[in-house]
Amino acid sequence: MVLGASHNEIALAAFLLIVVLLAAKIGRIGEAIGGLFEREAPATDGGAPGDGAEQAEQKEERQES
């Protein structure tokens, strides 16, 4: 053990460090990791998820007509 860490803990830390460094260099890995933390599903047209502002505008337009 090194500084109270087991071999498994050291291996896990090294693995996570490698994944994070690769994610910074390879976009697909970074997007996959970032996708795990998204709150909404991506838009079907490939754009970023909406914040609801467009839905509010459409609702106002319907009420006016």
Q: What is the pLDDT of residues 1-14, one digit of tens each?
A: 557 889 999 999 99
Number of helices (H), then strands (E), belonging to the chain: the values are 3, 0
**Residue 5 forms part of a structural domain:** yes
Q: What is the pLDDT of residues 23-38, one digit of tens each?
A: 778 888 778 878 888 7
Please tell me which residue, 1 or 19, carries the higher pLDDT value: 19
**Residue 61 forms part of a structural domain:** no
**Residue 58 forms part of a structural domain:** no
**Residue 57 forms part of a structural domain:** no
**Residue 48 forms part of a structural domain:** no
Q: Quick check: 21 pLDDT over 90?
A: no
Tell me which long-range contacts 1-4 makes (C-beta under 8 A, separation of at least 24).
Answer: none
**Residue 59 forms part of a structural domain:** no
Three-state SS at 5: strand
Q: Quick check: 43 pLDDT over 70?
A: no
What does the angle CA 25 – CA 19 – CA 29 come to, to the nearest 5 degrees? Answer: 55
Q: How many domains does the chain have?
A: 1
> Which pLDDT belongs to residue 50?
56
